[in-house]
Structure 1
């Protein structure tokens, strides 16, 4: 008898790999009562599902959490279906139209300019923090540059960065981690304030366009995009820049320090980043709905059933990555992980994420070559359904 997932337990995020290994071997399509979903665990199946939106539909897959109470759902109202028109939450042809619009912001020239800006943000932060000799990597080093870069990219004023960061944290708690009923209502209020802020930012850029992503997308309202699509797109990129990307950097630094490969040589930075995403991905997977009845590995998935594509398990699939639980800094196929998805649903923010992860390591290594973990600390992750992020990480140098 194979045990089930348990998002309330520490092992679900910190150490699920023995459990996932047993699933890949004995139950590659696993019906999880805890998640209320069928789970695909093998790399080939996860990749194939990403590539087949006709069978595994994205429509509605990121909408309201199934753990919310009726009172919370009522408070959220129409916003309970937040992300219903986000690019990762729809199928073609809407997906094709949305992705085409978003891609306008990620030209090679624009990405190069963002990378240089991000390097400067990291240098400026280190000028302030390095003299201390110690820090909580999560709160003091990992988040600020990404938050500031994402804010500048979107067009969020510097004075509003703390507001956005606070409300993003509330968003993740509301939708992606179990919360008691009273706390859900508090978080729902915060979430509505967050959406109202983004809505007002879009209105402001419509009246006074600037050189930022919000202005670029707002100019497409009516021709290619709806107002709601722009609000949800901006809201979600802010989520990634304020939480997912910094979480990946924290996971990456912890892995590199544990493996004794700090600082990373320049020639290995790119591959080391990919290997860290494979081993300790900030995203554990994506949900889909079965668009029709499907049979896979002898298991019938009913039409309409919720399906989790476990990229966490796929990244540790021994048939693709030999000795998968071992960190190999020069692993030749490290980039075959599926943390960013695959096919038409390859993450629109992947370029933005990669241009932050590698440059951050390139700056941090030479500036803090003696970086090390503070001994004796308990390494703890936040509890989440599909995310991996450290609560704190004490470091010194």
Structure 2
């Protein structure tokens, strides 16, 4: 009998690769009782499913409120289906309309203009932290520049950054991490407070537009977007900047230090970022619903069944990435990982995420060339259905 997923177990996030390799070899379409989903584990199947919204629908795929208790759902009310109109949670034609609107803020010129700002944020942080000689990378180094850059991009005042970070953490835990019933209710309170904040930010920009993402999206309400769509777009971009990108940076620094390739030679930074995402992705995968009966490898996924596209497994598929458990800093095809998705749902913020990771590694490598792991620590990851992030990473220099 094949072992099942267990999102409550440490190995599920920290070291699932032997388990996933077994699934690729013996059960590439695996019915997980624990997840209540079919899991696609081979690279070709994951990529094909991302590129086939006709058979693998995104509609409702991020609304993972199945784990919420009745009391929590009652407290959330209509917001129990949060993300119902987010761009990654819908199919064409809604997806086409939403992505077209969001893309207006992520032009190559706009993304490139943020590089110097982000570089300065990293330099300023290191001016304050470097004299200490030690830090928790997760809390002291990895998050602040990304949080500040995202806040400026969205239009969140600096005084509200800590509030937003805390509330984003609440909603990630509520929707994407298993929680006991009493904790769900606490997180729901924080989440509703957060939604109210974003709602008021949108209303403020409608009255007094600024040079920021919120103002741009608010200007499209009525013509291209609804008020709720704008609130959800802002909320999820704040998640990426406050959580996903910093988690990926922490994963990358841990990997590079363990592999003894710190500081990374400047010419290899871009490819090192891709190899770190491939081997230690901050995103473990995406959910879809089967829009019709789908038969793969002799297994029929019934219509309306939940399906997990395991990008974590795809990034370790030996048929695409030879010797996948070995970190190869100059791996020629490292960028073929699927951490940002594929096809129409390729992450609209991918270029900005890559820019942030490259810039952070360049600045950190130059400013802290002697960076090393503090001895005697236990490396642990937070529990999550779809994300990989360290709880702490003690470093010295």
Normalising by the smaller structure, the TM-score range is over 0.9
Pick which of 138-147 and 346-355 moved more: 346-355
RMSD: 0.5
Secondary structure of the structure 2 residue equivalent to 1:117: helix
Deviation by residue 1:332-368 (Cα, 9 ceiling, x = unmatched): 0000000000000001111121110000001000100
* Structure 2 counterparts to residues 292-303 of structure 1, below 5 A: 292-303=292-303
* Match in the other structure for 1:19: 19
Q: Are 1:267 and 2:287 matched, yes or no? A: no
* Structure 2 counterparts to residues 1-397 of structure 1, below 5 A: 1-397=1-397
Once the two structures are TM-superposed, the CA of residue 46 in structure 1 deviates from its matched residue by 0.2
Count matched residues: 397
Deviation by residue 1:154-198 (Cα, 9 ceiling, x = unmatched): 000000000000001111111111111111001001100000100
Whole-Å separation in 2 of the counterparts to 1:91 and 1:107? 23
Once the two structures are TM-superposed, the CA of residue 108 in structure 1 deviates from its matched residue by 1.9
Once the two structures are TM-superposed, the CA of residue 64 in structure 1 deviates from its matched residue by 3.6
Q: What runs of 5+ residues in structure 1 fail to find an aligned partner?
A: none
Whole-Å separation in 1 of the counterparts to 2:18 and 2:262? 27
Secondary structure of the structure 1 residue equivalent to 2:395: strand
Contact 2:65/2:81 (8 A) holds in 1: no
Whole-Å separation in 2 of the counterparts to 1:246 and 1:65? 25
Whole-Å separation in 2 of the counterparts to 1:304 and 1:68? 20
Whole-Å separation in 2 of the counterparts to 1:65 and 1:222? 29
Whole-Å separation in 2 of the counterparts to 1:351 and 1:226? 26
Whole-Å separation in 2 of the counterparts to 1:252 and 1:8? 23
Pick which of 1-10 and 174-183 moved more: 174-183
Secondary structure of the structure 2 residue equivalent to 1:262: coil
Whole-Å separation in 1 of the counterparts to 2:315 and 2:246? 20
Whole-Å separation in 1 of the counterparts to 2:15 and 2:257? 18
Q: What runs of 5+ residues in structure 2 fail to find an aligned partner?
A: none
Q: Point out 4+ residue stretches in structure 1 off by more than 3 angstroms.
A: none
Whole-Å separation in 2 of the counterparts to 1:351 and 1:71? 40
Contact 2:64/2:176 (8 A) holds in 1: no
